[in-house]
Structure 1
């Protein structure tokens, strides 16, 4: 009833027959470097979606989760591969915390973190560590500050980059990369240079506005005891978009359904609430915050975020989706007895949902540890599936 393929999904997809799966339901990498994971450095490329298109039956649907910041990139690549973009669903939830820096509250450390040096100037912590490192690297390489200035077309800047006295300066990231190349040093202080570049203080504009005025506003908020989060850097996450795409049908939608069984959505099997309302492109977790915002929660399908029961023992995957949500999505786009494919299977939530709905399943997973978890989860369904049968 299911197959798990280990390894790169693009290589696996190329081995699958054309027009062999009925639907694709997947939670791919969002391209936001989630928790610093290497697999999340970018959204999947067009080549992967082109193979998804090839293996789907004509009219087959693709549902792909995305991050709110990178959904446009995900959708564009899916469309560039040849899919029709049919809609965007949104799964709304009340839980979750903003990944935001409280800029107002950070003003104390932002200002007090400077170190006063001769002449009344202030230098950020870590700057002298960088200048000392660069000075030693310059001496090892046999370069002079004048030669560095000639290389960069600057007048005396190299002296600020390598000084142990007043007015030290840290190169920009582009300058640092070039210095690393010509002086031949390692990455010992790369993290520190990146941190200093990220916290470089803006210079006030000539008219006293811009960065200077904004810093004054933050200071006033701080001294006025403004509520936490008066100025921040991000909104609270409250939804995940899902791209709804379809492989172009052959001929009319009706004719395509008659030949391949794909091309239509299972409206009857996904009606919502006691009143059997038409399914919408909005879903939510049923939480109090969402209910307060939306009112009558029964108008939309709802499912809470993944619980401990969803994860099951030993599942440490960071982005597990709730089983009921994935069952709903599989049911919406898969004909009876159809084959569901997930090229980014993770710990197998789509596969579990597909099997519980009576579908067949194929999944690809690059990580052996997650593939092991998925294998155990799907094999563990055998008793419950036998009972249903």
Structure 2
């Protein structure tokens, strides 16, 4: 059985009774403006997590994905709502792609005085005011952009300094002083140029620190034709997503809470991990497949065989197993495949069903009710149906809610 609420999750959750939900497993906005989407401009507010706390039964667990950059803010707001932070699970994968700017390739423009990456669409306030001012000053003085380039021994920078269109740039404060003398304008924009060009280039001089800085900048230029790994960049390769594990405070002892409410404990036996890759129906498998095989006659390890569930999950890829070695025998789950996403699923951050099944199983009592306030395309709901749980999902987007409805319905039919 499942229910989908379309609209704001805060309003939807307010319709649910107190202490009525057994677990929350969710992939909320990370607050990193993913792909420029407005819904990802911030992590959920404390008010949202307070409502989650209200609807959960005492002792129930919350699992919330996050970005490494904003995990601290997510966990702080969850804790401020009244939850106990119990742990952080790291889902590790080898397929992340570095989203780094190659600083080496940008050094020529930087040393020439360009303050902005021409490829960016984000223009700092005040830049076009400076370029318009310079264009008028150039025209009054009867100069051309070619003459300005000759003055600074650059090739095309004057066009960026005087443009009305794309790729605007602001001269450095030192270049600005030269332009003032050459074009004969005053100091009315000095403060703005100083602010936009706050990162000064090293001046020529005899001090040791200056020589070391210039040597470093020159070394970056030498790497400008090398791949990003050979030079200097701005970001690390993404390889994990943290999952905050929190719990609504139990009433009395955990034992008493479990007896009264059925919540408060983790399903350790149901989530043990096979010690080694084993053969099931002639195939080598691990992790989720091993758990599924535990219930069948062709597995002889016993229900309680395997490693204790850890706060590390990984995707089983070669990049991860090469690093972890023997430690790679933890539960693993790759990112969502095209088949797992299902046809027509346009959501950009689909989580794999096997991973969501594992997480739902870990924190939900048999037959329990799972809530996902940020349902997206329904991976948690799909997982809950396959695990035999009940499900409530909230989704702001009608398009994603429709996708989730279809995916969850199919899973409910498969599980029947």
Shorter-normalised TM range: 0.7 to 0.9
Distance 1:165 1:7, change over 3 A: same
Name the counterpart of 1:48.
48
What is the distance in 2 between the residues matched to 1:250 and 1:277? Answer: 30
- Write the deviation string for residues 178-215 of structure 1: whole angstroms up to 9, x where unpaired: xxxxxxxxxxxxxxxxxxx5x87534389868898546
Report the aligned-residue RMSD.
Answer: 3.2
Q: What 5-or-longer segments of structure 2 have no aligned partner?
A: 115-144, 166-175, 276-304
Q: Which is worse superposed, 271-280 or 243-252?
A: 271-280
1:120 aligns with 2:152: yes
- Write the deviation string for residues 233-277 of structure 1: whole angstroms up to 9, x where unpaired: 000001000000000000000000001000000000000014511
What is the distance in 2 between the residues matched to 1:360 and 1:249? Answer: 22
1:223 aligns with 2:222: yes
Name the counterpart of 1:336.
366
1:96 aligns with 2:126: no
Paired residue secondary structure (1:90) = strand
Name the counterpart of 1:147.
none
What is the distance in 2 between the residues matched to 1:361 and 1:124? Answer: 61
What is the distance in 2 between the residues matched to 1:276 and 1:124? Answer: 67
What is the distance in 2 between the residues matched to 1:72 and 1:13? Answer: 24
Paired residue secondary structure (2:79) = helix
Q: Which is worse superposed, 114-123 or 374-383?
A: 114-123
Q: Give the 5 Å matches for 1:18-57.
A: 18-57=18-57
Aligned residues: 337
What is the distance in 1 between the residues matched to 2:184 and 2:381? Answer: 60
Distance 1:317 1:168, change over 3 A: farther
What is the distance in 2 between the residues matched to 1:253 and 1:284? Answer: 30
What is the distance in 2 between the residues matched to 1:247 and 1:42? Answer: 23
* Alpha carbons 1:30, 1:42 under 8 Å: kept: yes
* Alpha carbons 1:65, 1:243 under 8 Å: kept: yes
What is the distance in 2 between the residues matched to 1:261 and 1:251? Answer: 13
* Alpha carbons 2:107, 2:220 under 8 Å: kept: no
- Write the deviation string for residues 81-122 of structure 1: whole angstroms up to 9, x where unpaired: 000000000000000111111101222344468674474386
What is the distance in 2 between the residues matched to 1:236 and 1:367? Answer: 30
- Write the deviation string for residues 290-344 of structure 1: whole angstroms up to 9, x where unpaired: 0011112553110001110111000011100000000000000000000000000
Q: What 5-or-longer segments of structure 1 have no aligned partner?
A: 132-155, 176-196
What is the distance in 2 between the residues matched to 1:210 and 1:350? Answer: 56
Paired residue secondary structure (1:47) = helix
Tell me the TM-score normalized by structure 1: 0.78
Name the counterpart of 1:6.
6
Distance 1:130 1:288, change over 3 A: same
What is the distance in 2 between the residues matched to 1:299 and 1:329? Answer: 18
